[in-house]
Amino acid sequence: MDISYNPNEIEKKWQQYWRDNNIHEPLDDFSKPKKYILSMFPYPSGAIHMGHVRNYCISDAIARFYRKNSYNVLHPMGFDAFGMPAENAAIKHKTHPKKWTYSNIENMKNELESLGLSFSSRREFATCDSSYTRWEQRFFIDMWEKGLIYRKTAYLNWCPNDKTVLANEQVIDGKCWRCDTEVIQKEMDQYYIKITDYAQELLDSLDSLEDKWPSQVLIMQKNWIGKSKGLNFSFKLDAKSQDIVKDISEIEVFTTRADTIYGVTYCAIAPEHPIVKTLLQSDFLQRDIIDKIIKMQNMPTKERSMSEKEGVPLGISVIHPLTQEILPVWVANFVLMDYGSGGVMSVPAHDERDFAFAQKYNIPIKEVLISESSDLPYTQEGKLKESGEFNGLFGQEARNKIIEYFEKNQLGKSIINYRLKDWGISRQRYWGAPIPLIRCEKCGLVAEKDENLPVNLPEDVVIDGEGNPLDKHPSWKNCKCPQCQGDAIRETDTMDTFVQSSWYFLRYTSPKNSWDKVAFDEASSKYWMDVDEYIGGIEHAILHLLYARFFTKALRDLGYTNSNEPFSNLLTQGMVLKDGAKMSKSKGNVVDPNAIIKKYGADTARLFVLFAAPPVKELEWNDNALEGAYRFIKRLWDRSKNILATDSIPQIEHSSLNQKEKNARKKVYEALCKSNDIFEKKQSGYAFNTLIASCMEALNALSEQESKFVWTEGYFILLNILEPIIPHICWEISKKYFNLKNMSEIPVDKAALETENVTIAITINGKKRGEIQTLPNMNEKELLQACKSIVSKWLDNAVIVKEIVIPNKIVNFVIKQ
């Protein structure tokens, strides 16, 4: 090309072309093979950052590759648009969350567009669109009616000054982020999704993701679900304590170490335990004890888990079920009310926490396992001692025998506990999807009628950080009961934003024109699901993925989808670093993608992020490498002027080429094969960097030979390979010389790949004088030329009578002696 490389010009042009011609829209032809390539959608904070750029360049490359190879490709984009930052912005800048959010989305859309990402714009949506909320509310009602959503009291962070519930991140050192008031724990009714009903399935189906998801993520999912088998039993209160507590006669506990049961020296319960509540209401406890308990209750969960082990004795006792010993009951801050049954049999000799606690409060310690060392606590397995009829048993066998004994004597039973808790989805906030229930004094909690969905948010609200804006609104919550038509009140809680990101990938499967009629249309979702490659940050390895997996299964059981597992393959990209630290606003080390695009163009930005490191690895920002990427693109551009315009791939007879030409062709076809390996076989986790390196080598090898045909063929192929990575320049050059004919699958010329070198002996009058390594079937004239120079010292003054070539083996010169 005779004009110089001007990325800003050509990039805008092609972005427009792709948009105008719907190049990136999937087809509704369900007979074609499909690929659903998805990157995690962004929160519309207002501007994209390098992490987004990396994420979307990866998915875009994969999507473009498959599109080029005649797959029907769905590569959608949307915005995870509800949530707290919009409300914080409203408080700070006096704007409306809706206005703030949609204007951020507009801005981010433009930025994404400037990267040339091949998203299907026809499937784009924001989760705060009321057409999306409409279906989320439908799902809520379906789950509510099925009993998969229920209400339960929970302790929430509460600021007594602002009269508002605070998210964990709004509690700073135990104080309100806004007014610095000491945060307390307030008991409130909340909506919960019974994800625990699916605990076992969520665990079991992780097996099907083996080798398709990073093993690290599978382990995190597994640990989060946290299955443990153990013994559940109750300590009876002794007669004196029974008199004091009255309505409660026993304390249930869960243990995974039944083998240590003879070592129990006290029973510990959570500060929220029903017995504690009963005692707080009686006049049995002393003032200082009451104060300490209330302090424990009021400590936010996060602080509590990090603080020192603490507790108070309750002054009541229980009876050991096997030894009939009398054991004291303590309230302890490390016992959780929402795990097991909120009570623990404490064995200080064999458990870290129990040991620390017992030492602090001078509680006896009793060893019941034989160990070599005398250090306590001894938390490993061991042979039982001081354990009555169970002495001498070891580990699992001891546990089995003891559990068997409990079951036989109806003292307790073997159970499975999951660490996974039900999912609390109530938020006392404005900018979220309203929970579509109505509270009627006569009928109780009633679901809103389907024809009245969506329940939309009121627009005229005051958002000042005090109270719940929906609750404070003068009229919004007043409504009629769907059952008895009487006056009723709307639920003012909104849903956790994790609910929206739990089914957005299903929504994308259906074209926009169906979105009013269905959440997602059956045939479309059947065709497109499951997601073939899901790409996003490791920070979502636990909650988002777990909730999305759960939602898919729950919607399957409600008849909405056939999918069991939403994401067949998962790629977690590494972080973007600068000077060794994560690139982030708070560290002040961000590089603005827009500035890079402006200066070098989107193709350079794309090439840099895909070349600097394989997707799974961390990417260290490097200005020199960015310059290097730009230089490569410019070279590609400048040298394109040697291309011969053609509508099809030039036909070249490989064997007729000279060595340099062969070498160039070989490099080009190697890059083509590499491209297939990288994309289809996901070699080294889509190691695009190695593919790009191959292309660079190929361009160099092309430059070293002189055939315009080889050159043209090489470009024909290289542009095809590089299109997923640097699409704008590839389309531009391709349009000019190849009329875009090279933008589909290209067959590999096997002859060009003959990689095995042969070693040819060079002899003079039958005596070996040297050797040469070459490609097989090298052009004879060139071969002789090369050999002569190697053995020149024997030939210089000689007369060659005969040259004998035994292909790929020997070159013999017969000289006159």
* Distance of closest approach, residue 353 Cβ to ligand ANZ, in angstroms: 8
The entry of Zn ion, ligand ANZ, none near residue 365 (CB within 5 to 8 angstroms by kind) is none
Tell me the C-alpha distance between 29 and 31, whole Å.
Answer: 6
Which residue lies nearer to Zn ion by CB, 451 or 653?
Answer: 451
Contact stretch for Zn ion (CB under 5 A) within 141-149, 484-492, 636-644, 658-666: 484-492
417 binds ligand ANZ, rule: CB under 6 A: yes
CA distance 358 to 174: 27
Out of Zn ion, ligand ANZ, none, what residue 160 binds, judged by CB under 5 to 8 A for its kind, is none
By a kind-dependent CB cut-off of 5 to 8 A, residue 483 interacts, out of ligand ANZ, Zn ion, none, with: Zn ion
Please state the three-class secondary structure of 371-405 as a single string. CCCCCCCCCCCCEECCCHHHCCCEHHHHHHHHHHH
Applying CB under 6 A, does 351 fall inside the site for ligand ANZ?
A: yes
Residue 260 touches which of ligand ANZ, Zn ion, none (Cβ within 5-8 Å per kind) = ligand ANZ
Would you give the distance in Å from CA 232 to the centre of its chain?
35
Q: Which is nearer to ligand ANZ, 404 or 487 (CB)?
A: 404
The tokens of 255 are what?
Answer: 């243990």
| Spatial distance between the Cα atoms of 659 and 300, rounded to a whole number of angstroms | 74
- Name the one range near ligand ANZ by CB under 6 A: 66-74, 92-100, 111-119, 340-348: 340-348
Of the candidate residues 484, 523, 581, 800, the single one contacting Zn ion (CB under 5 A):
484
User: Helix or strand or coil: residue 259?
Assistant: helix
* Residue 415 found at the interface with ligand ANZ (CB under 6 A): no
224 binds ligand ANZ, rule: CB under 6 A: no
Given the complex with ligand ANZ, which of 345 and 764 has the nearer CB atom? 345
Q: Is 345 in the site for ligand ANZ (CB under 6 A)?
A: yes
Sole binder of Zn ion in the list 440, 668, 695, 719 (CB under 5 A): 440
Residue nearer to ligand ANZ on the CB measure, 158 or 262? 262
**620 to each of 56, 100, 617, how far by Cα in Å?**
17, 32, 9
Check binding of 483 to Zn ion (CB under 5 A).
yes
Q: How far apart are CA 807 and CA 505, in angstroms?
A: 60
Helices 287-298 and 274-281 sit at what angle, rounded to 10 degrees? Answer: 140
701-740 footprint of ligand ANZ as x/- string (CB under 6 A): ----------------------------------------
Q: Which of 203/590 has CB closer to ligand ANZ?
A: 203
Q: Which is nearer to Zn ion, 377 or 482 (CB)?
A: 482
Distances (CA, A) of 665 to 655, 676, 696: 11, 17, 13
Task: Give 100's DSSP letter.
Answer: H
SS3 357: helix
Select from ligand ANZ, Zn ion, none the partner in contact with residue 255, using the beta carbon and a kind-dependent cut-off of 5 to 8 Å: ligand ANZ
In 10 A of CB 359, how many CB atoms? 14
Cβ atoms of residues 725 and 688 within 8 Å:
yes
Minimum distance, C-beta of residue 435 to Zn ion, in the bound complex (Å): 17
Exposure class string for 628-662: b at 16+ Cβ within 10 A, else e:
bbbebbbebbeebeebeebeebbebebeebebbbb
The Cα–Cα gap between 694 and 350 comes to: 59
Output the smallest distance, CB 439 to Zn ion, in A: 9
Rounded distance, CA 377 to CA 363, Å? Answer: 14
Residues 355-414 binding ligand ANZ (CB under 6 A) are none
CA gap 726, 733 in Å, rounded: 12
698 binds, among Zn ion, ligand ANZ, none (CB under 5 to 8 A by kind): none
- As measured in angstroms, the least distance from the Cβ of 304 to ligand ANZ is 11
Tell whether residue 350 is a contact of ligand ANZ (CB under 6 A).
yes
Bridge pairing between strands 576-578 and 184-193? unpaired
489 contacts Zn ion (rule: CB under 5 A)? no
**Euclidean distance between CA atoms 178 and 193, whole angstroms:** 30
Residue nearest to ligand ANZ (CB): 255
x/- map, 232-271, ligand ANZ, by CB under 6 A = ----------------------xxxx--x-----------
Mark the segment that binds ligand ANZ (CB under 6 A) among 342-350, 478-486, 592-600, 794-802: 342-350
Q: Name the minimum Å distance from CB 279 to ligand ANZ.
A: 19
DSSP 406-471: HHHTTSEEEEEEES---EE-EE--SSSPBP-EEEETTTEEEEPPGGG---PPPS----SSSS-HHH
572 scored as a contact of ligand ANZ (CB under 6 A): no
413 marked ligand binding residue: no
The CA R_g of the chain, rounded to the nearest whole Å, is 35
Q: Cα 187 to the chain's mean position, in Å? A: 33
Residues at the annotated binding site? 585
Residues at the annotated binding site for ATP? 585
What residue ranges bind ligand ANZ (CB under 6 A)?
A: 228, 254-257, 260, 334-336, 339-340, 342, 344-345, 347, 350-351, 417, 419
